[in-house]
Amino acid sequence: MANHKQIKVEAIVSEGRMGGHSSANMSSIYASSPIHSGEMTDDSVKEQYQGEVLDAVINDAGHTFGTYDTSYTDAPAYDEVETGGGGLPASPWVPNPNSPGPGSQNPSDQAEAPDGYGEKPGDTWGSGVGSQLSPKSSSEKTSAHTLGDYILGKSSKE
């Protein structure tokens, strides 16, 4: 597996000729910046990203989701998805097509979907397992990734 390095912008060191900046002056002006103090390194940025994005449990303080695990380790298996009426999906793959009924906009008034509706997942185009792989299974594989593991054309750690 090749380890891909992201190209980053490196400032040109300048002596501050007319129309230009002085690198020494910029470093002294922004001396408390983590870039100039040595606190912000390639390794520290990777470690921070891994912890705050890839392995994070984000708490939005009840704004929308409450806590959100970016590894999706609590993703359901297809056979764990609750289906039926009352606003539930018709199956793990499709929403309930029924209207709540005359005069109602409340999803809890929905009847169950017609028998057999959406019970078989459709195949997706392209390569890979697509809709046949449950969110639980794919999440378990994806959550094991670390920064630098990604390979073009691969979606799971092998």
The domains of the chain are located at 11-40
Average pLDDT for 45-70: 87
Q: Measured between alpha carbons, how far is 32 from 34 in angstroms, rounded to an integer?
A: 6
Say if residue 1's pLDDT is above 50.
Answer: no
Cα pseudo-dihedral 131, 137, 143, 144, rounded to 10: -120
Whole-prediction pTM? 0.53
Say if residue 6's pLDDT is above 60.
Answer: yes
Between 127 and 26, the higher pLDDT residue? 26
Q: Measured between alpha carbons, how far is 131 from 94 in angstroms, rounded to an integer?
A: 12
